Amino acid sequence: MSELMTTHPADAPRHAQASPLLTAEDRDLQRRGRDLVFALAGALRALQLYPLENQAVVEALSSLEAAAQAVLGHEDEIVVRYVGDFFFVNDVRLRQDLASYATFGQVGRALERHGIGQLEVFHGVERGEWTALLSLVNAEPAEAEPFAAFFDRLGRTAVLHLAVGPGRDGEPDPTGDKARQIAKRTYAQTVAVARDAMTGLRIGRGVSLRPVKRAVQAIVDQVLTNEASIVGLTTLRDYDEYTFTHSVNVCIFSVALGKKLGFDKHQLYELGLGALLHDVGKVRMRIELINKEGPLTADEFQEMQQHPAEGLLSLFEMRGLSEMPLRAMLVAYEHHMKVDQTGYPQSIRRREPTLFGRIVAVADGFDAATTKRSYQAQPWPADKVLREMRDNPARGFDPLVVKAFISMTGIYPVGSVVILDTYELAVVVQANPNPEALHQPIVRVLFDPLGVPVSPPRTLDLSETDASGRPRHSIIKTTDPERYGINVGDYFV
Ligand SMILES: [Fe+2]
Ligand SMILES: [Fe+2]
């Protein structure tokens, strides 16, 4: 160690254990990474001591921005990890010496209090985002589950180009209220990212793929660890935000379908990326067409049919294209194709849509048909949509994918409002985990037979049987939540 301390940084080994010689780029990164951690320490300290407008704070933040920019000028993103007293920047370990020892320790401890083990910085980060994040780091950590609490607080801010990850002990509890909150946060952030990307493309501003990729990774993580919560959020249908919530819902459904079909994590990520951007071509359509109330004329419909091809073109224009997998891009082109080769766009040479395209088509068809949109006054109940998708071949969905979708959501998907044989009104909150009981989901009873609200709502497993083996409760039919003034999303938050 003493030898390390006296060595000039340029000669220091990349990792203390392995000691391979550093490349010139690694040495640069090590130097810039060290500057960045020092600048973080300076900014944290300044924000602790002085008000925001104080000159010391302004200067510390300028140094921090410059230090981050120095790394980002050479890298796609910055990943700062703090592991067992050491800092790594994009996997290069920063050399610890007498001069850096105290400063690294300060920053490390500041992060560790909140259970943070990783900080990511993306292109486009703004000063306000740094201030928001660092002020949260300076704030007192929550007593219980500090990382989950920090993640939640950060999610309430407008920070998009900075992200945190847990330290080794900070993984959130995958069940309960916290899990629901984290799912909700992930959902809201993904809507914001989709809005940002699509608006950027519409006004011709360069759009970074980084936050989009990051958001899709978060959705994949949520589907893998917290599926019921994140799928439940697809029922939060916000009419004003239709384009964006629709994209996020299609992403969630597609990833959950991919999981059901046995995809690995990387495949799920590519699928999710394609799904989130499947309608990106709509940003090239006239806004009046997108927002039109009432049915489209034949001409307008034809114009609308350009969005898959336009989508593919938009994706070619997005920054970070080299990292955009082609099969994710094809989803935009293929999601309105039918398996019998009808639908649109028409290929000159006959070709089957890819599996990604067929999955997103099902997710898209389901979400579009069950959501109230500008040109669809009355959405269909979810169970009718599923039956139609399964039983009407003219709809052109891949029957195996539809089958997988139904086995994932149940016949009555989460968010369906149902009337029970007791004349109670209930909302489906979870598919029955037993594949034999797809028609018997878990529901929450909202109104008693006389229409009086049940407070708090009672949860029932419809597969429960009485002494004679008959189900205690069953569904008579689905109904329209609006008839009862129910906002289904309220029961998932
Ligand atoms: Fe579309
Ligand atoms: Fe769509």
Give the number of whichever ligand sits closest to the CA of residue 373: 2
Domain architecture of the chain: domains with CATH: 2-172 (no CATH), 196-409 (1.10.3210.10), 417-492 (no CATH)
Closest listed ligand to the CA of 308: 1
Please state, in angstroms and rounded to a whole number, the distance separating the CA atoms of residues 187 and 249. Answer: 9
- Answer for the pair 382, 441: CB distance below 8 angstroms, yes or no: no
Please give the distance, rounded to the nearest whole angstrom, from the Cα atom of residue 400 to the centre of ligand 1.
21
pLDDT of res. 158:
81
| d(CA 368, ligand 2 centre) in Å | 7
The lowest-confidence range among 155-159, 255-259, 280-284, 460-464 is: 155-159
Q: What is the pLDDT of residues 270-318, one digit of tens each?
A: 999 999 999 999 999 988 888 787 788 999 999 999 999 999 998 888 7
CA distance 333 to 354: 10
Residue 226 above 90 pLDDT? no
Query: For residue 374, how far is its CA from the centre of ligand 2 (angstroms)?
Result: 13
Average pLDDT value for the chain: 85
DSSP 153-206: HHHTS---SEEEEE-TT-PPPSSHHHHHHHHHHHHHHHHHHHHHHHHHHHTT--
Return the ligand number nearest the Cα of 368. Answer: 2
Q: How far is the CA of 279 from the centre of ligand 2 (A)?
A: 5
Would you tell me how many other CB atoms lie within 10 Å of the CB of residue 409? 26
Amino acid at 474: S
Residue with tokens 């002085």: 50
How much of the chain exceeds pLDDT 90, in percent? 40
**335 CA to middle of ligand 1, Å?**
6
Q: At 453, is the pLDDT very low, low, confident or very high (cuts 50, 70, 90)? A: confident
**DSSP letter assigned to residue 452:** P
Ligand 1: distance of its center to the CA of 328 in Å?
14
Contact 367, 350 (CB under 8 A): no
Q: Which of 336, 460, 481, 485 is nearest to 418 (CA)?
A: 481
Structure confidence at residue 176 (pLDDT): 59
C-alpha of residue 18 to centroid of ligand 2, in Å:
50
Q: Which of 354, 363, 461, 463 is nearest to 404 (CA)?
A: 363
Q: Which ligand is nearest to the CA of 281?
A: 1
Closest ligand to the CA of 249:
2
Residue 241 structure tokens: 């935000």
Give the dihedral sign, CA 245/247/250/254: negative
Distance (Å) from CA 221 to ligand 1 centroid: 25
Return the higher-pLDDT residue of 20 and 431: 431
What type of residue sits at position 183? A
DSSP-derived secondary structure letter, 209: S
For residue range 23-81, what is the model confidence (pLDDT) as tens digits? 777 888 989 999 999 999 999 999 999 998 999 999 999 999 999 999 998 877 888 98
Q: Which residues contact 320 (CB under 8 A, 6 or more apart)?
A: 76, 208, 209, 210, 213
Query: Rounded CA gap, 225 and 233, in Å?
Result: 15
Instruction: Give the Å distance between the CA of 364 and the centre of ligand 2.
Output: 5
> What is the mean pLDDT of the segment spanning 446-461?
88
Pinpoint the alpha helices (H) of 392-449.
Answer: 399-409
Ligand closest to CA 304: 1
Quote the ligand 2 centre to 345 CA distance (angstroms): 14
d(CA 404, CA 260): 7
Rounded to the nearest angstrom, the distance between the alpha carbon of 189 and the centre of ligand 1 is: 22
Residue 333 CA to ligand 1 center (angstroms) comes to 9
Neighbours of 51 (CB within 10 A): 8
Q: CA-CA distances (angstroms) from residue 403 to 126, 141, 227, 233? A: 46, 46, 19, 22
State in Å: Cα 156 to ligand 2 middle.
28
* Å from CA of 194 to ligand 1 middle: 15
Q: Return the pLDDT at 301.
A: 92
Ligand closest to 367 (CA) is 2
pLDDT tens figures, 322-380? 678 899 999 999 999 999 888 999 888 888 899 999 999 999 999 988 876 655 556 77
Indicate the length of the chain as a whole number: 493
Among the bound ligands, the one closest to the CA of 246: 2
pLDDT tens for 150-183 read 988 888 888 888 888 887 654 444 445 677 778 8
How far, in Å, from the CA of 246 to the mean position of ligand 1?
Answer: 10
How far from 146 is each of 94, 182, 202, CA to CA, in Å? Answer: 26, 13, 39
Nearest to 314 by CA among 345, 284, 339: 284
For ligand 2, the distance from its centroid to the CA atom of residue 167, given in whole angstroms, is 37
How many angstroms is it from 305 CA to the middle of ligand 1? 8
Task: Tell me the whole-structure pTM to 2 decimals.
Answer: 0.65
CA 322 – ligand 1 centroid, Å? 24
Structural contact between residues 315 and 324, judged by C-beta atoms closer than 8 angstroms? yes
